[in-house]
Amino acid sequence: MRFFLPIFILCMTSIATPEEESIRLPYLLGSSRTPLAGSSYERIHNIRLATSKINGMILNPGEEFSYNKTVGKREYSTGFLTAPAIVYEELQPVIGGGICQVSSTLFNAVLLSDLPVVERHRHHTPINYIPLGMDATISWGTKDFRFRNNSNGRIQLIGFASDSSLTFQIYGENPLRDDLKLETEINESPSPFPDRESEGGLEIALYRLRFHDGKLLEREFIHRDYFPARITKSQ
């Protein structure tokens, strides 16, 4: 089965923030918001702490952002708490659990700001706070999320979290010429384990759509994720 899932997170969309006094650059390039409803106190604490380490950061032209370098190692001594996180295919309690939602939300804001991604990794299994193909997992020492400011001016990262949502916005010295949207194309394959409780395979292609004056100019391929079929319950 093949279908398209359009994700309409349009750049230049204004979202009011409680950190408006910290915004130093004039143009909103792109923004992304993901839900936090149902998250534990510990998970929201970790998300807020990681977000605070990124909020307000300015990148000069040519500079590269590293999530791990910016947020630092997740330890009790740096303020992180234990919360559930996906380790391979299972939820397990880890120090700093939940902060992949920060990297994933920022990843989408980066794509919608027309910035090049240098490093991005998917989770081992689909997650529920962002559409398939649009996540960016991180792990200290092994997996990072990195992007570069390839624009002609500075950019600023603004992030904030409430009890119900996490938002990232990227501001710049120069406006974008085009409007950008994200779209995924999903192919499903049946499970090869008909007698077991299982899930079929998934192949997800992510595209960035470029519009100018309402006209589609380009459908740019970003990446392709593949989740193999798997048995979900052991006998």
Quickly state the pLDDT bin for 20 (edges 50, 70, 90): low
pLDDT in tens, 128-160: 999 999 999 999 999 999 999 999 999 999 999
CA distance 60 to 188: 42
CB 145 within 8 A of CB 107: yes
State what percent of residues in the chain have pLDDT above 90: 75
Rounded mean pLDDT, 118-124: 95
**What is d(CA 153, CA 150) in angstroms, rounded to the nearest whole number?**
8
The widest CA-to-CA distance across the chain, in whole angstroms, is: 59
Strand 27-35 relative to strand 64-66, pairing = unpaired
CA distance 231 to 235: 10
- Asked whether the whole model's pTM tops 0.85, one would answer yes
Can you read off the two tokens belonging to residue 114? 């027309």
Nearest 5°: CA angle at 70, between 153 and 138? Answer: 110
